[in-house]
Amino acid sequence: MSKILVVDDDVDLAELVKTKLSSEGHQVFMIHKGDGAFDYAKQIKPDISILDIMLPGVTGYQICRRMRKDPELYKSAIMILTALGEEPEVLHGLEQGADDYLAKPFKLDRLMDKINSLEDLLVAIKTMNPVTNLPGTDAVKRELNHLLARSTAIAAVYIDMVGYKPYCASRGADGPKQVLDFMSSLLISLKKNLSLYESFISHLGGEHFVVALKLEDYERFTTVLTETFDRDVTQLYTQQEIANKFIVAKDRTGREIKCPLMSLSVGVAHNQYRQYKSAKKVFEVLAQVRQKAQPTQGASSVIFVDRRRTDR
């Protein structure tokens, strides 16, 4: 069960919410004004915060922004309550760093559905890939949302290991673990060796990774990443494969085919020129740029950076 903070100036509604949440086993704390709500959150460190938007004094938006900038609170799940429920209001709340919203008036069953979803989110962002021990898609999207809510200058780097599937097919059951151990160790060592302590490494599954880092660091990181990968990936191959510059693997029909050694397709999206309001948009751009960062057969890794200044 979760520790939940309810910030709402409607005392009767807050009491009703507390009664429902407490009956489900949650530990509930309440405050009925915006002033002091952030300090109270700092004191109790809730897993989930329910913030009414319209409050005496400080607004729910302001509390949300402060929580997302705080190193102790920024990982907490936040749900905003809005009496309007209109799209601009909701989007604005999500852009401040909220994870979800609930429009007033609401049924308590609907509230519990939302709380359960936020609990699932908190579990998901703490779940590590069993091979790489890195967080996954939900975690990095939430990290990007929090960075954007704090107006941080960031870059998101999408890393795709081209040739991963043929390599795994040629190595049998041990293939995926061999290459994923290599890739995760490389990313973690670069974070340490390049002093990228504020970066966030995630493994989306298979050959796909995303790294969020400060804007000023992405050029150095991607350059060293591709150079190191192209040099060290040879340790995964035999001397004959290195000399040939290809491996022999079987396609889906069982036919043997020649496949180039692995290289990286690296796409970068950053907010130096474009303003992103959510991780969803960042991922849309990453999907575009990684398609443009395709190495030619047998060539070295490729980096493509989105330098557009408009949404087109």
- Asked whether the CA dihedral 289, 292, 297, 298 is positive or negative, the reply is negative
**pTM of the full predicted structure?**
0.81
Q: What does the mean pLDDT of the chain come to?
A: 91
Domain co-membership, 79 together with 158: no
**Unique residue bearing structure tokens 């040939």:** 244
**Unique residue bearing structure tokens 């809730």:** 46
Domain co-membership, 91 together with 207: no
Domain end (from 107, 126, 145): 126
Domain co-membership, 85 together with 155: no
Considering the domain boundaries, does residue 26 fall inside one? yes
Look at residues 216, 228, 217, 222 and name the one whose alpha carbon lies nearest to residue 185.
228
Question: What's the CA gap between 227 and 223, in Å, rounded?
Answer: 6
What is the span of the domain harbouring residue 256?
137-305
Q: Tens digits of per-residue pLDDT, 237-262?
A: 999 999 999 998 877 777 888 889 99
Domain co-membership, 149 together with 121: no
Q: Tens digits of per-residue pLDDT, 149-165?
A: 778 899 999 999 999 99
Evaluate if residue 95 carries a pLDDT over 80: no
Considering the domain boundaries, does residue 88 fall inside one? yes
Domain co-membership, 114 together with 146: no
Regarding beta strands 208-214 and 256-260, do their DSSP bridges make them parallel or antiparallel, or are they unpaired? unpaired
CATH number of the domain within which 247 lies: 3.30.70.270
Q: Tens digits of per-residue pLDDT, 107-123?
A: 999 999 999 999 999 99
Q: Give every CB contact of residue 112 below 8 A, 6+ residues apart in sequence.
A: 20, 24
Split into its structural domains, the chain has a count of 2
Regarding beta strands 208-214 and 200-205, do their DSSP bridges make them parallel or antiparallel, or are they unpaired? antiparallel
Looking at per-residue confidence, does 129 or 172 come out higher? Answer: 129
CATH number of the domain within which 80 lies: 3.40.50.2300
> What pLDDT does residue 87 have?
62
Question: What's the CA gap between 72 and 215, in Å, rounded?
Answer: 23
Evaluate if residue 298 carries a pLDDT over 80: no
Evaluate if residue 267 carries a pLDDT over 90: yes
Looking at per-residue confidence, does 54 or 268 come out higher? Answer: 268
